[in-house]
Chain A
Amino acid sequence: MKIPYGWVRELVDVDLTAEQAADRLINAGVEVASVTPVAPDLRGVVVGEIETIEREVGDSHGHRVLLCRVSTGRARYSVVCGAPNTAVGARAAFAPPGATLPGGRAIGIAKIRGVESHGMLCSERELGLGEEHEGGLLLLDAGAPLGADLVAHLGLDDHVLEIEITPNRPDCLSVLGVARELSALTGGRLRPPKIALRESRESARALARIRVEAPDLCPRYTLRVISGLKVAPSPAWMAARLRACGLRPISNVVDVTNYVLWELGHPLHAFDAAGVTDATIVVRRAAAGERFTTLDGQARTLDASMLVIADPQRAIGLAGVMGGQNSEVSAGTTRVLLESAYFDPGSIRRTSRTLGLRTDAAYRFERGADIEGLLDANDRAAQLMAELAGGTVARGMLDAYPRRRKPVRVRLRMERVERVLGVVPRRAHARRILTGLGLAVRERGAILDVEVPSFRRDLAMEDDLAEEIIRVWGYDKIPSTLPGGQTVEVARESDRLRQEGLLRRVLAGVGLMEAVASSFTDRARSGALGVAEPLALLNPLSQDAAYLRAHPLDGILGVVAVNTRRQEGDVRVFEIGKTYQSSTGGDTATSEPRWVALAVSGARGELSWRDGGGAVDVYDAKGLAEHALAALGVTTSTRTGGALGGFEPDCHASLLTAAGEVVAEFGEVAASTRAALGIDAPVFAAAVRLDPLPRARTFERYQALPRFPSVARDMAFLVPDPGPSAAAVETAIRREAGPLLREVVVFDVFRLPDGQRSVAWRLTFQADDRTLTDEEINTVHGRVAARVGSELGLTLRGS
């Protein structure tokens, strides 16, 4: 909200520059986003009068271009002007040669249509005061002193504070509110506008009626009736002030409602009485499907939760949000019904959001208006309409206020203030602060009895007042201490964080880069990963972030895609993150399983002169998954196939714990999935489920080191294609070899010219109680060869 500082200073005695005032407000919690001069770079522009129009010199955009004689009282100038509102006798903003307009535009003598123009008559936009230009010159009052500096005359020598309040402080959404805040902060005297209303003898009751049918949504509704109005442009000073507030002047009657909204903070609405049947205002819920055209010309369909202002026949306003076209004040309006009301904040907010109609009025009503202060707003507006539009104010105000607001009283213990803040000002000081904010305070020993005024809806309990006290006194008065009580337990990192931290270090340690990917995904990517129904957002920002990822590789494959697209072909990355899915338990019937997702593509290692390490393959993905599992003390066996989508069917397997639980899947990412993601090169990936895994590796009792030497024997089997899997061979070996076999590992695999593969195993034997003899080993070796031969049909190479 834009608030001219000069206006604020009319209502409070402070001796601060706009910048200083902004600092004080910010430090008291009233955010001032910016402080800007009203009329930057405007120099030498004065009040001029068009004395005569000498002749027409041409035509521009359908308007005559005229040569005028302009007087500034001291001198006369020949000025060419094409504005449609150029008229003899008009006083207007005039930039004589030597003046400067915004943007550093220097005015001199210019040739227009071959005619010399000495200076320029200016529009609002040319002066940097507003957007108006097509309408023509910025006209001034007939009484504006000729030759007077425009900046001084219109009070443009001022700064505008851009106020951004937190939702609890609607009372600061006005010039008076900001003035009150500054008064509390500086001790400067507050001088609210004097309301001096002259009423006619005719009673308002005789001229209008109110019927509130929905008092729950409209606790108070008041009307004044002003007759005999002459709708005309507002005086220049008011128009200038409204423009400085970022508002567009419309007419004296409408501008008064906006002016009072800015001055006192309460939204008002003036209905043209001619548009109100039987001069009767009915406040009711809309009928479902009721059609209504708002002031902005939009036809809207209402529902039964919305509140309308109506006459006995039709709606004439959308309560607290926007007026209607059918009762709009226009040039011919002579009598208005002036509304000042209080509407239920929640209802206004729902209506405004449902219709997508955010207005200054709705913004205030949804934050809570001042149910008592609305009387002053009504009186003030009536007064100004009488003064500026020649109206007569009927006697009395119609006021439908069935349930009066109960006064809010808070018993404030100074001891409580100290308990919350750790510091407390003297009682007299606290009292001064609260009084300065407009609160009524009575001292009763160590207790302050505080009555909260109706404009401070945010103050309802002791701690609210503690905040007011420290806010005004200064947050820098709070000392710095440390909590005394020690926790009885040692602070613990969560087990899950510990598990994730361990895996992160382990995987970064073997050359993987950690990524942190978004939780969002789109339909296409989910589909490419075989996810049919990901959880959908009701209100996504965009279609490519409309779902929550359900596949553990969703994020990490996106990372591969981004990098390969950017010529980073060697990608070795991992992510520790969640997927999101429906579930039967929990508050939200969803679950968020945690995963390590890893993906590799391109070269295995850094590019090197010695050996590049070759290209990654599926065994890299598998090995990294096994490495991560081993870090948690989990050993696994492999079973081909798995439950996750997105892998090549013939290159996809699962890792199982000894108990048979699948804790990881790995494989080559399917070509179709890659195509959907825009990845050209092969990618190998693994997903490890973290929730079923131990949170850390637990170490059992130590085992004594072996006292007798071990013996290694190599066995190379010829394996046809297709033939038994390595896992099957290993199982056979282990079964036959018995307890002396301590370790068995494949150390060499190659393909022979006949298509068979040679798979070489190294078996390591050891006994706890003796050195093994060659004969013992040879016997076992022979039995193993025989078993693998009989069970799997494999023969030893070279036999």
Chain B
Amino acid sequence: MAIATDPPRTGAADSALPRRTTRRRPRNLGAWGAVAPLLVYSAVFLGLPVWALLYQSIRRTDPATGVTSFTGQNLTESWHGIYLTAMWGSIRLSLLTAVVSAVVGLVTAQAIAQSRGRLLKQAVLTASGVLANFGGIPLAFCFIAAAGTAGEATGLIRKIDPGFALDTFTGLVLVYPYFLIPLMVLTTMPALDGLRRQWREAAANLGGSAWDYWRHVGGPILLPALLGGFVLCFGSSFAAYATAQALTSGTVPLITTRIASVLSGNVLAGQENLGMAMSLDTIVICALMMAVYLPLRARSARWLDS
């Protein structure tokens, strides 16, 4: 931006005009100016759809008369019966898979971060980036071929768990970590990289064991990133639907398959508003999750700021 200044006047020959002594301040939009495009983008592509969801979820068209009116019936219905079961099933599945993936992902990330091979680290990070988004029907078919009734590895799995079947809740808990663990590795690797070896050595010098180190030094530093990774895994697992639908055909109640069957199915018609109400409920669940996560994260990072 050009700064408007008058060239300094030399000599006192022109006394008609008063001499400018101050420079004109440049217009400074500050921090708000810098973030405005992001805010506009979020408002249009995140805010407007949420508003549309909210609006649609409180409307209902009476099939007999065709009159559309405001009603809370959709929201009530979405918290009862099969939809409540489905919401609870989704939450259980997401929490369980997020915990499993968080633990396994952390251990994997630590193993990779500790390794000396640069190529290995690079390869794992790249692969994680791809696999974290590998879901849906291709993933379902991979697992059908591997662990389905005629799967290659089914015999091995049945040695550990004789009653194992892929099209159950347990089967989904086996399948989901396939894309959640890479997600966890991706999010925690930077934090693990930030743990300096010198801190470990310092802790050992002061007489601390490995457990002391992780409990007092490594753990607290990692905790914010861990929590963040866990929440990401929860969200990713909560939103997954195509894989579950292909594998279980609705026998494991999940809120995402319920929403899909109402909004883009071939059987149920005229219940789109109920689908909107269910979608609104998932936003509520995510908001609850954030309400738990944000204070925890703030608390865990507090000592880092001091």
Do A and B come together as binding partners? no
Which residues of chain A have a CB within 8 Å of any CB of chain B?
A: none
Which residues of chain B have a CB within 8 Å of any CB of chain A?
A: none
